[in-house]
Structure 1
Amino acid sequence: MADLWQAQLTFGLFVFLLTPGFGLSPGLQRVRLLVFLAIGYIPIAGLSLADYMRSFTGDLAITSLVALAYWTAVRTGFAPRQPRAKTLQIVAVMACLALFLYPATMGLSYLDPYRLGYQPRPLILFVGLLTLALLALQNRLGACMLALATLAFSVGLKSATNYWDYLIDPFIALYSCFALIGYAISRLWRNGSAKRRDALSSQPG
């Protein structure tokens, strides 16, 4: 039942964020969100639209749900947009977790970190340290993402019994890795452009 509720919420938030708001006011954005949440319950051939989407995407990690909820809150006027530097901190943390988990589970290493999620005390301790580090950096969103994932696992909010399924999924993993690559490319491009401008300005006229 919890997974079905999660599927409905994921559908509403995901479609809301993917579709443009066309400059609507925060109040109308909230109405649009409620409409998409309701659309997810529309049945087609015995399954709701949210269930159809879930059959392709699976259940998202709690961290992804918290991120979707945050950006929805930003668009609807309930939360301010956080600085880009703090978003990059979250992206870096999730990318590191993804690079630790997925290459090994695809057979690229003899280590199987996914098994750690079944008896996750060391992993929970490590994530707790990451959470404290994000709090020290005043990154409340990142700390909430990790803390709520751990809390959801401790109360069995999903049918999954592996801690990794609460912590990370392919969507947030791919987004984080590509976002880091994009940031690195843009940073190198800006630095290269600045050096070229300095070189041109230093040449005698």
Structure 2
Amino acid sequence: MISLWQAHVSFALLIFLMLPPLGLNRGLRVGLLFALLAASFIPVDGLSLAAYLRSYIDDLAITSLVLMLWGCLRKLGLPAPARHAQISVLVVFAAMALLLYPATLGLSYLDPYRLGYSPRAMLVIIALLTLGLFYLRNGLAVVMLASATLAFVAGIKPSHNYWDYLIDPLLGLFCCTALLVIVVRWAYRRSRLLLRSASDARQSV
């Protein structure tokens, strides 16, 4: 039952994030979000729209739900955290994805996914990482990791693997792509700055 409710919430949050602002005020945007949640129950050929979406993306990690909820709150007017905090989130979860998914595809002899079934060491590592991020005042990352850990302890998902609470392919792809875009933009700006500096130097000679 939890997974079904998770599918409905994921449907509403994903569609809301994909929609343009449409010039709506905050009240209407909140109403739109609840309307999308209601629409997720609409049956098509015996399955709800949320169930159709779930068949493509499976159950998302708790961290993904927290990140999407934060994105929706941003669209509703919540102030954004500092840029370095956003980049920290991308780095942390991109690193998790790069550690986990190449191994599950047989590209490594290691099997980190198996550790998620008895995650004592993982829990200690994530706890230390969460404390470090809390010290750095990265509230978003702290809430994401803490929510995933609490959800795992409570067992609110059908999976008994800690990894399924921490990361999913959609979140990993998003973080890796976002980091790649940031690096490319930085390299482009850096190259333009160097070219401009070289051009100014030639003109001054």
Under TM normalisation by the shorter chain, which class is it?
A: over 0.9
* TM-score scaled by length of structure 1: 0.96
Q: 1:1-205 residue pairs with structure 2 within 5 A?
A: 1-77=1-77, 79-204=78-203
Query: Which whole-Å CA distance do the structure 1 matches of 2:109 and 2:80 have between them?
Result: 41
Structure 1: which 5+ residue stretches go unaligned? none
- 1:177: Cα distance to partner? 0.8
Amino acid at match of 1:113: P
- 1:27: Cα distance to partner? 1.3
Name segments (4+ residues, structure 1) moved above 4 Å: none
Amino acid at match of 1:76: L
- 1:83: Cα distance to partner? 2.3
* TM-score scaled by length of structure 2: 0.96
Amino acid at match of 1:46: G
Change (3 A) 1:145 1:196: same
Structure 2: which 5+ residue stretches go unaligned? none
Matched residue of 2:203: which SS?
Answer: coil
Matched residue of 1:107: which SS?
Answer: coil
- 1:129: Cα distance to partner? 1.3
Aligned pair count reads 204
Q: Deviations over 1:92-144 (max 9, x none)?
A: 00011111111111111111000000000101111111111111111100110
Query: Which whole-Å CA distance do the structure 2 matches of 1:188 and 1:45 have between them?
Result: 49
Query: Which whole-Å CA distance do the structure 1 matches of 2:6 and 2:128 have between them?
Result: 27
Q: Deviations over 1:60-79 (max 9, x none)?
A: 000000000001111123x2
- 1:204: Cα distance to partner? 3.3
